[in-house]
Amino acid sequence: MATLSVIISAWNEEAKIKRCLASVSWADEIIFVDNSSTDQTSRIAKQFTSKVFKRPNNPMLNVNKNFGFSKATSDWILSLDADEKITKELASEIRSTIDAQNELVGYWIPRKNILFGKWIMHGLWWPDKQLRLFKRNKGKFPGIHVHEYLSVDGSTGELDEPYIHYNYETISQFIKKMDTIYTESEVQKHISANYQLSWYDALRFPISDFVKIYFVQQGYKDGLHGLVLSILQSFYSFIVFAKLWEKNKFNQIDIPLSSVAKEFRQAEKEVDYWIISAEEKETPSKTMRLLLKVKRRVLARV
């Protein structure tokens, strides 16, 4: 039988870490990297494993995850965060998968995100597949950005059962992480890609993200949760633009009112297009679907 090491890297997660560790107590080995926690995180971890390593709290989170990978001794590695949990169904699928003889070196696993107390089933948050299971010595994080996928040396497959991610619990938590971690990483990505600041991106970034998440990815099906999350994500995009402007020393740009008006008119057309597309998908009437399809084609030509 193939063996499995679970790697968890955490900082000050005393409220969540026990749930996470308990969900993987069946694994052959648990490697816990404590990022210099000041609460009871390390003490709780030691109740589940003797392999607890203390490391500096590196702002590039995946550096310590890679360190944890280097300490694993099993055939396979499962990378997990403190606010995540493995279900019994997924545990069974992982066991049967790693015991199978094939050429795959890694597996993508769907992630079930719980945001503000609700499983979000559309938008960015489902199925939100993550590459978390891989053969030892065959994968690591590139360590360039906070938001990055594992990189593996070989072919990958997909598992069916999801794991659970207890994501944002409060609006303040969303805003804090957005400001201190995620937008900072996103800004660096744009800088690395030689992004050239354009004033109209102050409108295009947030509007595009809202349209994509709420209409194209059907965030509207998640009710008020979907609407609020789509707006928050569009705000995230606006903050990325504003921080890029800050990096440009808040350079002054004169913007004609007519140019701003043109951007809003174009955005209105885009929103109308996707509203019609969503209505077409939702209506049970064949006649209404046909009329909406014609209306959308006309709008696209305007």
Q: Hey, where are the domains in the chain? A: 4-109+131-161, 170-253, 259-302
User: What pLDDT, on a 0 to 100 scale, did the predictor assign at position 302?
Assistant: 66
What gap in Å lies between CA 92 and CA 175, rounded to an integer? 36
pTM comes to 0.89
Tell how many helices (H) and how many strands (E) occur in the chain: 10, 13
Nearest to 171 by CA among 112, 245, 215, 225: 225
User: What pLDDT, on a 0 to 100 scale, did the predictor assign at position 145?
Assistant: 66
Give, for 157, the enclosing helix (H) or strand (E): strand 156-158
User: What pLDDT, on a 0 to 100 scale, did the predictor assign at position 149?
Assistant: 86
Q: Domain 4-109+131-161 - what CATH class?
A: alpha beta
Q: What parts of the chain have a pLDDT lower than 70?
A: 144-147, 302
What gap in Å lies between CA 24 and CA 5, rounded to an integer? 10
